[in-house]
Amino acid sequence: MRKLTVSSFLFFITFLTEVNAQEPIKSVDPLIGTAHARYFHFAPGAMPFGMAKPAPSTNGSLGNKSGWEATGYDFRDSFIENFPNFHEFQIGGVALMATTGPLQTIPGNMDDPSSGYRSNFDRKDEVAEPGYYSVLLKDYGIKAELTSTERVAFHRYTFPKNEQSHILFDIGNMMGESGKVKDAEVKINPDGTVEGYVITAPVYVEKYHAGADIRMYFYAVPDKKAQKSGVFQGEQITTNATKINGISSGAFFTYSTNHHEAIEIKIGLSYTSVDAAKTNYLEEAKDLNFDSAKGRNQKAWNSMLGRIKVEGGKEEDRTKFYTGLYHALLGRGLASDVTGTYPKNDGSVGQIALDKNSKPIHHHYNTDAVWGAFWNLTQVWTIAYPEYLSEFVNSQLLVYKDSGWLADGIANSKYVSGVGTNFVSLVIASAYLQGIRDFDVDLGYEAALKNELDGKDRPRGAGKLDVDRFVKNGFIGHIDESDNEMQESWMFSASHTLEYSFSSYAVGQFAKALGKIEDYEKLTKLSNGWKHLFDPQLKLIRPKFEDGTFIENFNPRQAWRGFQEGNSYQYTFYVPHDAKGLIDAIGKDEFNTRLDSIFIKAEPLEFGGGKTIDAFSGLEGMYNQGNQPNLHVAWLFNYSGKPSLTQKWVQEICNKFYGIEGVHGYGYGQDEDQGQLGAWYVLGAIGLFDVGGLTEPDAKMGLSSPLFDKVTIALNPNYYQGKEFVIKKKSGKAAGTYIEKIMLNNKTVHEPFIPLKSITSGGELELEMGNTSKDSYK
């Protein structure tokens, strides 16, 4: 295994100094789509893939009935509750707040703001950028600012002149998706530093990993000594005490401040121990102040975002583009310490192997499920951030080594499957097939194969609880009712059959590349599972009972009966590994007519659930850009002889589904899922997308019309031969929706595809554009 020798992946930017002249962070608006967003969506103080994600919270964990709905920050709110430092799927907490006047130690009720310490704020007083956030807390006249290093949050509070200026550490309250608090501790040390922890029981951890919990640790260093300090538990305050345990625990520090006096706090964070949090602080932040940390943070964002440089086009599209790319680099965060310690699946602390310089050879990450990520995130990572995809694979293999199973989603290595399936094996296969191989390949293959075929003693958190029935029959028989509370084991027969067919194909290609021919043949046979459920009369995917008969009372619009978060109209197109086979089964002309008509009907609904603000608002429609199962569909025309329709509808989705507002960002409050919808826009806007999720050894990217005159992708020389790949519209022909001619490295291309290897080898794609649709290229 080739070891990663850089001291920090997050600063793997030495080959990108030439792009620092531009500042793509100026085109990012983190406030986009923050109405009904997920908890991890808004963390402007964070670094790319960072652990420390300081951000404002307007509503804590309200609206979290099912364990995933909490927004934390909602664009429509007008009060700020506090500033938490952890923002991940199922993880949130360690909040700070600054106030003046009589000491209050609870956030209070949104309906009665005066009942607690929360503060009113105005949008005009708020600045949100990648790596920096500031706001005026109007009730107190305090300017709050946030930034971070990878594992250390920086807070700066600028106070008015006041004898009662306070900084609160509100540690023991539920925050975001973190679930109920089991325990918390806060300790004030003699030198004025603060340390502690909070232990929570998130709903999805309890669901998929019974008995497990989430542990968050901190070590904080204020730069001014307080005149008075103490601890609290809820509203019960104990002045001069230095330690407290239990739910609703916290600490306060009171200062006498001059006008415009700033107090900075640096907070080392960890998921393993207070000592590790302190070490993270000492290694990353001891010699930095707020402004130097902010500069370092934003330099990293400019470099990471600058790997894809866009020129020309509309300013609005550049904002959508870089905001989408920002979310693709924000959503999944570090879970390991600077020393390589990390939280293991069983609750103990593990150690990542170290290189000759005593640095960890890779890092470990928290991650939501990768359901649908192969149609957005992993393609963006493969092209522009292959070192992160490598780290993702290595991170997932840690969990496999520790637990014996791949886990689709993980919070501190605990299972949080979320959707009850598991596509990590597909991601591992794709990475290998595209040349990203600096992981233990034998272990990766073992894990991937087990994920596809093994149902024995499978834990709920590994997903695919019905995979044994798929392997036995080639499809999953439908069950309408069951007493089994694990609905994902019986409720989604059709969608699981389609998903397992796809991932079987991917791992089959992995097997073939490794010379595992027996496995390849078995997996390839399973990849045809979709054919069992194709109804030749309706030409739709239709659930079947185990005896092979189609279900009765079939309604193609109905969600949740055989289909997870979608319906038959949507899932019928879910054959990404055999698009031509599906087109042949439906008939090319009928396929094109039907799919085009679906988009015509979806357009007035903004290609989702219309203006209904709900993550599931489009589940019973014929097309739903707001959820994963449909994200490849607009690109299928490239396979059916109508590439002009791919070009038309991809642009229409980019223009109408995506917005630049707090409410209309990714649809109207749709489910952004850690950067997936943002990454889809990135691919659509540059006109590159692989329906097959890069699971072919010689993968090809489908083409569409770029929204920009020129796109330059900087390539990572540790993985790819080329320096950069350029996409440009031919001079004088930049206008127009449709591609008329394709030139790759000065050679004419006769199909709407180019090999991925032609991108990673470096070169130039030139497109001649026009206003007349064209479906053949000479």
Residue type, 333: G
pLDDT at 670: 73
| H-state helical runs in 454-562 | 467-473, 493-513, 517-526
Give dist(CA 501, CA 531) in Å, integer.
Answer: 10
Tokens read off for 260: 């415009």
Give the residue among 321, 180, 150, 337 at the shortest CA–CA distance from 246: 180
Give dist(CA 149, CA 290) in Å, integer.
Answer: 10
Spatial contact of 436 and 513, defined as CB atoms under 8 Å apart: no
Give dist(CA 85, CA 353) in Å, integer.
Answer: 28
Give the residue among 527, 404, 418, 509 at the shortest CA–CA distance from 457: 404
Give dist(CA 676, CA 664) in Å, integer.
Answer: 16
Q: Which residues pair with 232 in a beta bridge?
A: 237, 250
pLDDT at 1: 38
Spatial contact of 637 and 643, defined as CB atoms under 8 Å apart: yes
Give dist(CA 144, CA 118) in Å, integer.
Answer: 13
Give dist(CA 130, CA 46) in Å, integer.
Answer: 7
pLDDT at 615: 85
Give the residue among 514, 715, 716, 714 at the shortest CA–CA distance from 4: 716
Average pLDDT, rounded, for the chain? 95
User: Can you give the three-state secondary structure of 35-74, one letter per residue?
Assistant: CCCCCCCCCCCCCCCCCCCCCCECCCCCCCCCCCCCCCCC
CA 727 to chain centroid, in Å, comes to 26
Residue in the block written with tokens 């106030």: 99
Residue type, 569: Y
Residue 763 three-state SS: strand
Based on the number of CB atoms within 10 Å of its own CB, is 3 exposed (0-12), middle (13-18) or buried (19 or more)? middle
pTM for this entry:
0.96
Alpha-carbon separation of residue 239 from 172, 176, 190, 254 (angstroms): 18, 29, 15, 10
- Which residues neighbour 98 within 8 Å (Cβ) at sequence distance 6 or greater? 137, 140, 142, 144, 157, 159, 165, 166, 167, 168
Give dist(CA 716, CA 14) in Å, integer.
Answer: 10
Based on the number of CB atoms within 10 Å of its own CB, is 301 exposed (0-12), middle (13-18) or buried (19 or more)? buried
Spatial contact of 419 and 209, defined as CB atoms under 8 Å apart: no
Pairing of the two strands 724-729 and 763-770? parallel
Alpha-carbon separation of residue 214 from 40, 66, 345, 444 (angstroms): 16, 17, 11, 27
H/E stretch holding 97 reads strand 91-100
H/E stretch holding 96 reads strand 91-100
pLDDT at 175: 95
Q: Which residues of the chain have pLDDT under 70?
A: 1-22, 669, 733-734
Spatial contact of 542 and 533, defined as CB atoms under 8 Å apart: yes
Tokens read off for 523: 């997996």
Spatial contact of 274 and 218, defined as CB atoms under 8 Å apart: yes
- Which residues neighbour 553 within 8 Å (Cβ) at sequence distance 6 or greater? none
